[in-house]
Structure 1
């Protein structure tokens, strides 16, 4: 089941994500964009490789708040407009690196989250 966000994560999932280190960072201006090369909406999950909580369309602005690696795959915990959404596959999120270049989504230093 894939529904459009802003569907809400269950309260329990939100608590688990907080415990996983997502922190209480505010959105930082939507510096990153969903860029899924398959052209389909990007799944937002309750945990890396977890249940699908919703989707984000290509071009959606997101803010990475946390990251983790599972096996060889990097995952980002993202927010949008201040709302904490969930985990997305990092390879499908790109960020402005300045001077017109784009790179895979970086995670801001802990002091800026």
Structure 2
């Protein structure tokens, strides 16, 4: 496959607004392509920059003999994930969820999305 073949694949783009000490802007990245990212003053600028960055990212990988990841098939995931926990962690999460007034499932999802154990 060449660069244009990869560019046509249904990668998962993440574009989100950011407001920090440097101002307000949009940050864009490709879930499957680690380090492939861009920013822009608006959504479209971030997306356009990401497409350019993605083309360069893929081209560099191919030129240097590296494998380019293909898009994740998110349709194959049901959204259900069962995990066993130590009793102490289960208790701590349940107590924290109750204090926040949300279900254990909602609280766990929040914690996972924040990158906290």
Q: Say whether the fold is shared (TM-score over 0.5).
A: no
Q: What TM-score, normalized by structure 1, do the two folds share? A: 0.21
Q: What TM-score, normalized by structure 2, do the two folds share? A: 0.21
Give the helix-richer structure, 1 or 2. Answer: 2
Question: Larger relative CO (CA 8 A, sep 6+): 1 or 2?
Answer: 1
